[in-house]
Amino acid sequence: MDFNEAVEQHVKSSLESSFGKALAMLIVASASNAVQAPMVGMSRAQYMSLCSAICEDQRVVDMWGTSGATDALLKWQALV
């Protein structure tokens, strides 16, 4: 699975189920800006950084807990 596909099909859908579409997009955009990961043509390192930044976002930690955020990160990293 390529990195963009993993973001679209797994990362965003997980976030949308907990936060709704608008907030999920905001979380992804904030994380993308923070690690300077482009949403098109990202490298493996950028994908990993993006996933880490999402799981470190305080809104994600507050909703899923530290354990849940870590579980999501491990799942997303295993996709690629």
Structural domain that includes position 61: 3-78
CA 41 to chain centre: 16
Sign of the dihedral through C-alpha 31, 34, 35, 37: positive
**Global confidence as pTM:** 0.93
pLDDT tens digits, 15-70: 999 999 999 999 999 999 999 999 888 999 999 999 999 999 999 999 999 999 99
Q: Quickly list DSSP for the chain.
A: --HHHHIIIIIHHHHHHHH-HHHHHHHHHHHHHHHT--SSS--HHHHHHHHHHHHHSHHHHHHHHHHHHHHHHHHHHHT-
Tokens of 24: 């999920």
> Would you place residue 2 in the very low, low, confident or very high pLDDT band (cuts 50, 70, 90)?
confident
What's the structural domain count of the chain?
A: 1
Per-residue pLDDT, 18: 96
